[in-house]
């Protein structure tokens, strides 16, 4: 029988008794409907996971005893950093979720010239937390044990100046394809634009910062398709899809 697994930010040690936070307790009690003495797996995003036994389920608290460490690693050898131009609504949610499933290690939502989403200060943190929740749940679902990092919303110019590895930005008008390139130290940085793509000045800025324009075939892909196609392609070429 499949054992449910949940992310927790807590430190995990064998022999420890741990009370779950309110969200996880509600999920265990109300959604999973687990009972005392049933098994559950916890992970804290630092690698590996812990097999636990539920020791208490009540309206006030859910507690587990941590029985043993499971040393399991499903991470790709390829380190992928993604700069994701912010798109509207479900498109952005979809891109974040599927990027985690495809093995991304770090995501930064980017504000670009053609970004149609505008944030007020109070809404920015709400949206960031929403995406962090998506990252967490996608990590749980995909059986990953390392929690990808979701960075603060950033501007394109500030972000590109700090990136390393093989730096690629997706451009339907580029001449090069991924097969013409090779990553440095198995680290790839991907830059994808919002619905309207990059402006000419943003293209030049990226090139001046060492990013290589790359096309994905002869068709123009929607923003949420382009990022996922690129992640799949780099995992096939240099990661663990081979």
Q: pLDDT at position 103, please?
A: 96
Closest CA to 150 of 162, 126, 172, 133: 133
Instruction: Tell me the pLDDT of the chain averaged across its residues.
Output: 91
3-35 pLDDT, tens digit per residue, is 899 999 999 999 999 999 999 999 999 999 999
The two three-digit tokens of residue 8, written as one number:
């927790």
Pair 41, 3: CB distance under 8 Å:
yes
Place of tokens 């830059």: 191
pLDDT above 70 as % of the chain: 99
State the CATH class of domain 79-238. Answer: alpha beta
Pair 102, 232: CB distance under 8 Å:
yes
Bridge partner residues of 66 (DSSP):
52
Fold of 5-70: Ribosomal Protein L25; Chain P (2.40.240)
In terms of residues, how long is the chain?
A: 242
Half-sphere exposure for 68 (CA within 13 Å, toward CB): 4
Q: pLDDT at position 1, please?
A: 63
CATH 2.40.240.20 in the chain: give the residue spans: 5-70
Which DSSP string corresponds to 160-192?
A: HTT--SEEEEE-TT-SB-GGG---BTTEEEEEE
* Distance of alpha carbon 152 from alpha carbon 108, whole angstroms: 7
Whether 122 shows a pLDDT value over 90: the answer reads no
CATH 3.40.1280.10 in the chain: give the residue spans: 79-238
Q: pLDDT at position 9, please?
A: 92
Angle between helices 89-101 and 121-141 (to 10 degrees): 40
Angle between helices 89-101 and 223-238 (to 10 degrees): 10
Mean pLDDT (whole number) for 71-76: 90
């Amino acid at each position: 029988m499949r054992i449910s697994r949940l992310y927790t930010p807590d430190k995990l040690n064998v022999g420890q008794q741990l009370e779950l936070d309110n969200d996880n307790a509600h999920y265990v009690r109300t959604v999973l409907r687990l009972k005392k003495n049933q098994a559950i797996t916890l992970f804290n995003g630092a690698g590996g996971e812990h097999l636990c036994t539920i020791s208490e389920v009540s309206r006030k608290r859910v507690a587990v005893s941590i029985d043993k460490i499971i040393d399991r690693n499903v991470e790709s050898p390829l380190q992928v950093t993604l700069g994701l131009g912010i798109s509207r609504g479900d498109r952005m949610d979809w891109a974040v979720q599927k990027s985690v499933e495809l093995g991304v290690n770090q995501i930064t939502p980017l504000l670009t010239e053609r970004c149609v989403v505008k944030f007020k200060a109070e809404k920015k943190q709400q949206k960031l937390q929403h995406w962090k929740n998506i990252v967490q749940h996608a990590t749980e679902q995909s059986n990953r044990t390392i929690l990808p990092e979701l960075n603060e919303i950033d501007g394109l110019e500030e972000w590109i100046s700090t990136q390393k590895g093989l730096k690629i930005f997706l451009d339907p008008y580029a001449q090069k394809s991924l097969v013409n390139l090779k990553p440095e130290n198995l680290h790839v940085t991907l830059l994808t634009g919002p619905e309207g793509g990059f402006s000419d000045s943003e293209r030049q800025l990226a090139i001046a910062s060492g990013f290589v324009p790359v096309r994905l075939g002869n068709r123009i892909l929607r923003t949420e398709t382009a990022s996922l196609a690129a992640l799949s392609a780099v995992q096939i070429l240099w990661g663990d899809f081979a």
